[in-house]
Structure 1
Amino acid sequence: MNHLHVQDLVSFLQTESARAPVLLDVREPWEIAQAALNVPGTPTLCIPMAQIPARLGELETPRPIVCVCHHGMRSLQVALFLRRHGFETHNLDGGIDAWSIQVDASVPRY
């Protein structure tokens, strides 16, 4: 399972479109409403952590999946789970909070 620092994710998002990752935000809907991660041109799926097992079919993609949560702990668990199910996964270390601090200060911190 690969760990990504936010600056590495910025570079990863700029790769050729066929290998560019899909973002999987595993936070709860109220968290996403408070601080959404919107990266133009990057597909983002919002599936709360508890719903991942039931919604695996929505993740069928040949592209890498970068799992995101608030601080990187829930997303780590999801990334490991998905890896066991054959997906290429990465975890965003520090989560959306690190993204807000280091990349996009317009994303509210909570």
Structure 2
Amino acid sequence: MKEITAEEVQQRLENGEALNLIDVREVIEVRSGHIPGIINIPLGLLEAKLPDLDKKKPYIMICRSGGRSFQATAFLDSLGYDVTNMVGGMSAWEGEVE
């Protein structure tokens, strides 16, 4: 399974890269602060949202501490998606939040 640090994600965003960030936290958690530009798909709804995801696009999965995003990454990876887990989740994020 591929992994990326919060710092690496922040650097890539600051360098102007367009990243496909999926935050798998619950809606109420996301409202308390999230990385600008994320797509929120709570972990429990991920399977139902598969038709909305493109296997040709790389995705970075995010949650609070890295556990739920790890599960989401493993699930999507098993289905052939190009996914990477952001280690440490929002607990490790030091960049801008909305």
- Whether TM-score is above 0.5 comes out as yes
The question of whether the paired residues in 1 share the 8 Å contact of 2:63 and 2:69 is answered with yes
After superposition, the C-alpha distances for 1:32-61 in whole angstroms (9 at most, x for unaligned) are: 0111221xxxx5211000000111011115
* C-alpha separation in 2, matches of 1:84 and 1:59: 14
Q: Could you tell me which runs of 5 or more consecutive residues in structure 2 were left unpaired when the two chains were aligned.
A: none
TM-score by length of 2: 0.86
Q: Does 1:76 align with 2:74?
A: no
TM-score by length of 1: 0.78
- Amino acid in the other structure paired with 2:33: A
Runs of 4+ in 1 over 4 A off after TM superposition: none
The question of whether the paired residues in 2 share the 8 Å contact of 1:21 and 1:63 is answered with no
Quote the RMSD (CA, aligned, Å). Answer: 2.0
Q: Could you tell me which runs of 5 or more consecutive residues in structure 1 were left unpaired when the two chains were aligned.
A: none
- Amino acid in the other structure paired with 2:2: N
* Distance apart, 1:87 and its partner CA: 0.6
The question of whether the paired residues in 1 share the 8 Å contact of 2:55 and 2:80 is answered with no
Q: Does 1:67 align with 2:61?
A: yes
* Distance apart, 1:95 and its partner CA: 0.2
Matched pairs, number: 97
Ranked by relative contact order (alpha carbons within 8 Å, sequence separation 6 or more), the top structure is 2
* Structure 2 residue aligned with 1:37: 35
